[in-house]
Amino acid sequence: MSGNTSQLQVGDKTVDMAIKQGSVGPAVIDIGKLYAQTGMFTYDPGFTSTASCESQITYIDGDAGVLLYRGYPIEQLAEHGDFLETCYLLLYGELPTAAQKADFDYRITRHTMVHEQMARFFQGFRRDAHPMAVMVGSIGAMSAFYHDSTDISDPQQRMIASMRMIAKVPTLAAMAYKYTVGQPFVYPLNSLDYTSNFLRMCFAVPAEEYKVNPVLSRALDRIFILHADHEQNASTSTVRLAGSSGANPFACIAAGTACLWGPAHGGANEAALKMLEEIGSVDNIPKYIAKAKDKNDPFRLMGFGHRVYKNYDPRAKIMQKTTHEVLNELGIKDDPLLDVAIELERIALHDEYFIEKKLYPNIDFYSGITLKAMGFPTSMFTVLFAVARTVGWIAQWKEMIEDPSQKIGRPRQLYTGSPQRDYTPIGRR
Ligand code: CMC
């Protein structure tokens, strides 16, 4: 390695590869010409050492436990801002002025209703469908309802599609919830802020007046800020890969939603709460710690560990504080799940296995307890994650589409299957 290039020796060939510096964080080695020069690919399952794109949106220093949106620390945004301000920041790159913020809030608020026929589209789902299944289907269906904003070559249509998704995904999420509990859909109310409106769409019923609790609304808004973006995670990379083919933005965000559903990603908050319920009491914790450490047992402590954070997840610290605020507000003094969570965290942070593997609580460890206390069933946890992450997916998708060097994403492979062989007719097999 020297200056701005590095050399790779392959057989008798020396290949020069440019080293590209980011503004902060590790530099990258540009291997784009490697195949042309050596006839070899690189091999990196899970992208553990591979940067898939250049981005200016989110920065994570996993060793230091730092998360920045457009350069701003997550702690400051969660403390001082609101979710729509974060949305503006992620989309446009700068914090809005007061006038820009008021205009953005107004435009998002005026896009919250969904096409009336969408309600009939929902009727096609089974009542007991998982709300994430309904989300994947209904977000995908938006491209059929809003095809006047699917031309990705038109910047105006791209912006309208972006606004529509930030505004309408919460409405679809609330509808998914109402559908599973058999209650009527609640229309959005434009006089409410984004998160209060969402709470009302989830929990109001026509038979009673509903008053939004400002403490819960602020807590959920903060949870949305914490989940808004997380650079090139699995679902965001899915959105970018889907978008790289020129697919319309609604289809791309549906693809991201499907990826988020998995228990190793956005499904972990649901899995973490189920695990705390299964552990049940502080006395059972040692048994589960032993299971997590046993190489022959597939059990993992849900809500622990992260591909990038090898330190305390900065979002988990804010989440833990928010959990206490919500439980206090609701007068929940003795929550057995919280007792289990606190003790589990304490033991894991002092256990040699977890220390050595740098497994710290991640954001999903405390979010389940908070959302459950607010009244959301576990099946809605990943849906709430999707509501918040929609803006991150869109910002990353827009950045990719607007990048002149963008190409269709097409990974290569190390083929280990059979070499060429001749077909044997069925009677001779
Ligand atoms: N409990 C017990 N052992 C674990 C855990 C855990 N939660 N996580 C990782 N390990 C061990 C793992 O067995 C492996 O051990 P060894 O080296 O002896 O084989 C080592 O730690 C490294 O694990 P890995 O699976 O190679 O690490 P990864 O970077 O591929 O996985 C992860 C990251 C988040 C998928 C994983 O830590 C995990 O499955 N955690 C539980 C699920 C979870 O909480 N996910 C939410 C992530 S935060 C929300 C989001 O961003 O979506």
The finding on whether 267 has its CB within 6 A of some atom of ligand 1 is: no
Contact 140, 132 (CB under 8 A): no
Nearest CA, atom 11, ligand 1: 357
CA 351 to CA 209: how far, in whole Å?
50
Tell me, rounded to whole angstroms, the distance of Cα 356 from its chain centroid.
Answer: 27
Q: Which atom of ligand 1 has the smallest separation from the CA of 353?
A: 3
CA 409 to CA 238: how far, in whole Å?
10
**Mean pLDDT of the 170-188 span:** 97
Q: Is the pLDDT of residue 2 over 60?
A: no
Contact 387, 170 (CB under 8 A): yes
The finding on whether 319 has its CB within 6 A of some atom of ligand 1 is: no
Residue type, 12: D
> Is 5 in a helix, a strand, or coil?
strand
Lowest mean pLDDT among 141-145, 214-218, 263-267: 263-267
How far apart are the CA of 153 and the centre of ligand 1, in A? 39
Nearest CA, atom 51, ligand 1: 265
Contact 239, 399 (CB under 8 A): no
Which helix (H) or strand (E) segment is 73 a member of? strand 72-73
Bridge partners, residue 8, by sequence: 15
Q: Is the pLDDT of residue 1 over 80?
A: no
Provide the annotated active-site residues: 306, 364
pTM of the model: 0.92
How far apart are the CA of 237 and the centre of ligand 1, in A? 19
The finding on whether 361 has its CB within 6 A of some atom of ligand 1 is: no
Sheet arrangement for strand 72-73: 58-61, 66-69, 72-73
Mean pLDDT across the chain, nearest whole number?
94
Give the pairing type, strands 28-29 and 58-61.
unpaired
pLDDT digits (tens, 9 = 90+) for 241-260: 999 999 999 999 999 999 99
The finding on whether 140 has its CB within 6 A of some atom of ligand 1 is: no
CA 226 to CA 32: how far, in whole Å?
34
The finding on whether 393 has its CB within 6 A of some atom of ligand 1 is: no
